[in-house]
Amino acid sequence: MPALAQRMSRAKPSAIMVIADKAKKLKAEGRSIVNFSIGVPNFLPGEHVYEAARAALKTDTGAYGSNRGRDDLLDAFLGHLQESRFTGYTRANLAIGIGAKQVLYNLCEALLDPGDEIVFPTPYWTSYMDIAEILGAKITLLPCPPEQNYKLTPAQLDKALASKPKVFLFNNPSNPTGMVYTREEIAAIADVLMKHPDTWIIADDIYNRMVFDGVGYHNVVHLRPELRERTAIMDSLSKTYGMPGWRVGFVTAPERLATALVTLNSNHITNLPEIVTAAGVAALSGPQDITREKCADFSRRRDEVMTALLSIPGVKCPRPQGAFYVFPDISVAFGKSHDGRKIGNDVDFCAALLDAKGVACVPGSAFGEPRALRISYTCKPAELTDGLQRLREFFAELG
Ligand SMILES: Cc1ncc(COP(=O)(O)O)c(C=O)c1O
């Protein structure tokens, strides 16, 4: 058989999907499974979104659409940007994608030649590594361990940017840690970025409406508007509106970059479907109460998870303030056994936890931090309480 392209030797399936699939299989076999593994918001969009989709079906033209995104969708997104205190952008600064994941792929393709350097903090969202590897970029990781609250320091960034990497990729609020940078922390990062004009900035801000405790959402462009000339801001309807499967992502960027992304869209995807576009307009311009309610709900769940985790001797966990993830350091379990089964690392831990207690979590090594695991806490409230109890029992049974 002829060979596949060399890049496929670097491409691997998402580690999160591997765990989620195993959990699904066990459930299908009749096991009682609590799934903390997959990062879905677990709520549905409002009725007005479905109504808009149904109405669009009736008027569907079946035609190809805009590579940038249909005007009404772009305008609705511009309104959303204004609410998030981004002003002065026009349609020419925007491009859609099939979810933020494809937006990120496009951005990396537009900015990185093979061998170009991309820098991002660890823990990172798994696809950062996967996409950069597929594209043959040189990846530099900036370790942000639990001891520094999983947050990047200005000094770390300053040092990393001295080599003039092509791209600095920054995620706030964070998947997998749930950390949110304060206004002051973003200001300090923005000041460092000002000193390094040769680096593009990709700000993955897709959880910007899921922030708790009054910390607020801040982007380097808010603090240093000059940075907009080399900053691309990613957004998505997936988490904010309970629409992960609808696949609507956005990027806000300087015109030249946005146009490059539209060119890539014309080659990769052509357009978003009309029905999805109409649903997206309705989500962005309709009532926002579901998003607000869910954010309040997630912050209460965060409290429940933190109380459970901090009651386990030796488990350490910086307190998340956004998204719907918690990322505890569970390394206290390494070197111990459960029911005769050795726990050497995070992967052993998650495998044993799933087999013994039916709780599915993603090993931290999937995000570049092998001392931790990720809990996504959007399941039903009763399942959350049950899953946390099973996790506590698992720890108590370690010998
Ligand atoms: C940090 C981060 N960026 C981007 C994405 C991709 O989102 P989308 O569903 O819009 O592709 C995810 C999804 O989990 C994410 O957690």
* Per-residue model confidence as pLDDT tens for the chain (399 residues): 999 998 888 877 766 777 888 898 999 999 999 999 988 999 999 999 999 999 999 999 999 999 999 999 999 999 999 999 999 999 999 999 999 999 999 999 999 999 999 999 999 999 999 999 999 999 999 999 999 999 999 999 999 999 999 999 999 999 999 999 999 999 999 999 999 999 999 999 999 999 999 999 999 999 999 999 999 999 999 999 999 999 999 999 999 999 999 999 999 999 999 999 999 999 999 999 999 999 999 999 999 999 999 999 999 999 999 999 999 999 999 999 999 999 999 999 999 999 999 999 999 999 999 999 999 999 999 999 999 999 999 999 999
CB of 101 shorter than 6 A to ligand 1: yes
Give me the CATH number covering residue 329.
3.90.1150.10
CB of 249 shorter than 6 A to ligand 1: yes
Count, residues in the chain = 399
Both tokens assigned to 66? 């805009």
100 CA → ligand 1 middle, Å? 6
47 CA → ligand 1 middle, Å? 24
CB of 284 shorter than 6 A to ligand 1: no
Place of tokens 């090594």: 365
If you ran DSSP here, which 8-state letter would residue 322 be given?
A: B
Q: Are residues 90 and 225 in the same domain?
A: yes
Whether 281 and 73 have beta carbons less than 8 Å apart is answered as yes
Both tokens assigned to 1? 């058989």
Q: Are residues 294 and 384 in the same domain?
A: yes
Q: Quick check: is 248 in a domain?
A: yes
Q: Are residues 73 and 190 in the same domain?
A: yes
Domain count, the chain: 2
Strand partners, 200: 167
Q: Where are the beta strands (DSSP E) in 49-166?
A: 94-97, 117-122, 138-143
Give me the CATH number covering residue 163.
3.40.640.10
CA distance 79 to 74: 9
Q: Quick check: is 83 in a domain?
A: yes
If you ran DSSP here, which 8-state letter would residue 150 be given?
A: T
Amino acid at 15: A
CB of 100 shorter than 6 A to ligand 1: yes
127 CA → ligand 1 middle, Å? 9
114: exposed, middle or buried (Cβ count in 10 Å: 0-12, 13-18, 19+): exposed
If you ran DSSP here, which 8-state letter would residue 2 be given?
A: P
Q: Are residues 110 and 176 in the same domain?
A: yes
| Beta strand pairing call for 138-143 and 117-122 | parallel
pLDDT of residue 395: 98
Rounded to 10 degrees, what is the CA torsion of 377, 176, 39, 228?
130
pLDDT of residue 120: 98
Whether 165 and 139 have beta carbons less than 8 Å apart is answered as no
Strand partners, 203: 170, 233
Q: Where are the beta strands (DSSP E) in the chain?
A: 34-35, 94-97, 117-122, 138-143, 167-171, 200-204, 231-236, 249-252, 325-326, 336-338, 341-343, 359-360, 362-363, 373-376
Q: Quick check: is 49 in a domain?
A: no
CB of 175 shorter than 6 A to ligand 1: yes
Domain end position, chosen among 238, 256, 285: 285
125 Cα nearest atom in ligand 1? 1
Whether 242 and 41 have beta carbons less than 8 Å apart is answered as yes
If you ran DSSP here, which 8-state letter would residue 148 be given?
A: G
Domain end position, chosen among 260, 285, 310: 285
Q: Quick check: is 332 in a domain?
A: yes
Q: Quick check: is 15 in a domain?
A: yes
Q: Are residues 165 and 203 in the same domain?
A: yes
Q: Are residues 279 and 331 in the same domain?
A: no
pLDDT of residue 135: 95
pLDDT of residue 144: 98
pLDDT of residue 17: 76
Whether 66 and 270 have beta carbons less than 8 Å apart is answered as no
**pTM of this prediction exceeds 0.85:** yes
The torsion angles phi and psi of 217, rounded to 5 degrees, stand at -105, 130
Q: Are residues 88 and 204 in the same domain?
A: yes
Q: Are residues 193 and 248 in the same domain?
A: yes
Q: Are residues 239 and 336 in the same domain?
A: no
User: What ranges in 121-271 are assigned the alpha helix state H?
Assistant: 126-134, 154-161, 183-194, 220-223, 255-268
Whether 253 and 93 have beta carbons less than 8 Å apart is answered as yes
Q: Quick check: is 52 in a domain?
A: no
CA distance 168 to 248: 24
141: exposed, middle or buried (Cβ count in 10 Å: 0-12, 13-18, 19+): middle
CB of 125 shorter than 6 A to ligand 1: yes
In 3D, which of 183, 257, 175, 192 has the Cα closest to residue 222?
183
Q: Are residues 246 and 328 in the same domain?
A: no
Domain end position, chosen among 256, 285, 314: 285
Q: Are residues 359 and 294 in the same domain?
A: yes
CB of 286 shorter than 6 A to ligand 1: no
Both tokens assigned to 191? 């000041």
Maximum distance among all Cα pairs of the chain, rounded to whole angstroms = 64
Q: Are residues 228 and 344 in the same domain?
A: no
Q: Quick check: is 220 in a domain?
A: yes
The torsion angles phi and psi of 211, rounded to 5 degrees, stand at -125, 135
**The domain containing residue 294 runs over which residues?**
6-44+290-396
239 Cα nearest atom in ligand 1? 9
